[in-house]
């Protein structure tokens, strides 16, 4: 039989061997995880945020000042039509020596006119142009409901042919009676 001392040695040896195997297993798992390179995904912002940031950086103003941004077009054609409003600078932006909204508008219009308003959206260079806000459709060809035109003409004629009566333009006045109540009364005209 084994003595107690030998039993302790065997138990100690078994414990050390188990700890060694556990250590090797853990280090092997960590080593395998380190060999696989994690994929870095670039966070893509919405197009409106990218446009706001790019326009602000070109005009050297804060993105907060670009408001009411609207755009149309396709990025794959590298052309977008945009419309936006430039707000006045607040105290912090004024202290940071940002240009005022009039100068920023002039700068934007000159870039639009020269065709050099270039921004980067989703890693593509896009040329910006102004949205044409004026309608180009002929109103007479778009609106051809003759019945509604006749009604509009009649309403216009009826409105201008009503006589002006002074009693129609009198308004109530609020007066205080003897019991201190507010009473509406029509003014007396002669």
Question: What would the pLDDT profile of 89-107 be if each residue is shown by its tens digit?
Answer: 888 988 998 999 899 999 9
Range in 29-38, 41-50, 63-72 the model is least confident about = 29-38
Give the range with max mean pLDDT: 13-17, 20-24, 133-137. 13-17
Question: Angle at which helices 47-59 and 101-114 pack, to 10 degrees?
Answer: 100
Cα-Cα-Cα-Cα dihedral of 52, 57, 58, 64, to 10°? Answer: 50
End-to-end CA distance of the chain: 138
pLDDT (tens digit per residue) in 166-178? 666 677 788 888 8
Range in 65-74, 104-113, 146-155, 174-183 the model is least confident about = 146-155
| Cα–Cα distance, 130 to 72 (Å, whole number) | 10
pLDDT (tens digit per residue) in 115-162? 899 999 888 899 999 987 655 555 555 556 677 777 778 777 766 655
Predicted confidence at residue 23, as pLDDT, reads 86
Instruction: Tell whether the model's pLDDT for residue 66 goes beyond 70.
Output: yes
Predicted confidence at residue 54, as pLDDT, reads 93
Predicted confidence at residue 123, as pLDDT, reads 85
Contact assessment for residue 101 and residue 92, using Cβ atoms and an 8 Å cutoff: no
Would you place residue 111 in the very low, low, confident or very high pLDDT band (cuts 50, 70, 90)? very high
Average pLDDT, whole number, for the chain? 80
Calculate mean pLDDT across residues 28-33: 61
């Amino acid at each position: 039989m084994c003595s107690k001392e030998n039993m302790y040695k065997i138990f100690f040896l078994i414990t050390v061997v188990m700890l060694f195997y556990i250590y090797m297993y853990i280090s092997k798992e960590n080593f395998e995880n380190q060999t696989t390179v994690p994929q870095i995904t670039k966070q893509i912002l919405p197009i409106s945020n990218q446009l706001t940031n790019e326009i602000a950086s070109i005009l050297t103003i804060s993105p907060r000042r670009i408001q009411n941004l609207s755009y149309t077009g396709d990025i794959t054609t590298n052309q977008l039509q945009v419309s936006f409003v430039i707000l006045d600078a607040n105290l912090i932006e004024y202290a940071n020596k940002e240009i005022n909204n009039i100068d920023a508008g002039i700068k934007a219009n000159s870039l639009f006119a020269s065709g050099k308003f270039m921004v980067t959206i989703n890693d593509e260079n896009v040329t910006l142009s102004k949205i044409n806000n004026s309608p180009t459709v002929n109103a007479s060809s778009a609106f051809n409901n003759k019945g509604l035109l006749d009604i509009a003409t009649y309403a216009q004629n009826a409105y201008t042919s009503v006589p002006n009566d002074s009693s129609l333009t009198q308004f109530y006045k609020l007066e205080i009676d003897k019991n201190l109540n507010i009473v509406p009364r029509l003014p007396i005209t002669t």
